[in-house]
Structure 1
């Protein structure tokens, strides 16, 4: 753990001189001008909290790596549309959708089918799928949040997506469960 005074001195000596170049880097890689200063502050915050456990040897590389990773994370999260926001599409004014009435109705019906498919999943699988595919969390983040292993998250995500695809294609949308080992062994012997 780095002493606060040492950390502050490091930040002023190594990171603050990068401010102009860091701002230019963020501006080149981000499309919304109004968010640039907030993003820079986020990078500073992450740099300080990360350096608290040990000062990096090369502050410049450290800060730019944090900035790049943060921009990627923010961009990825902004591309995700919450399903409950989309589910409320019926409350939008009619002229807000330039699509034909048929396509509009078809889209609403598909959304209802997705929701019905999600509702058919077991609660844990549904929760994992929502965190992974709707909220956009990584397997590692979901595993940490739910207190399960990353392999379990990946397994449940895979099973849930297969069941949801099956449901959307007209199937029952049930997760296929393997028979217990003894039962499989008996059926193989017969």
Structure 2
């Protein structure tokens, strides 16, 4: 078996021994043997495409979760679903798709870091980057709005992205030199001319 990749060996030893459990669970959810087998095979394909497969602590639970999600997705797309199948999904055990408090707090902290780093960019870079990335304007639209050439907009965009990337890579977003306090912070107009 020297020709097997690491992921193949991992799959054979950590995932495949539970194939019976996967099929039984898929049959319980779907109710049809052929569709259940399709669901298991689709779950295998998803597991084999996970880039960090080595980090999976409980691959059996991971595969079961994939099977459940795939079954749920099939039910969502189906025109008619039997009541028995809905009950089997144990809707109360499905994960709430809304982010938990930790995810919300973490995302807010990350946003604060990005905004603080963005605030420390040179004024034109900050304006151009904000209009491009936050408002989705094209370089041509930004050039008209800020009365700049397109090449100048592109240079500010490149410089701003480079500075922002460096600041965020430092971990705290503070590596951009702070603007002198004499530089006013001007609001960016978002209305169209």
TM-score by length of 2: 0.38
Flag the structure with higher helix content: 1
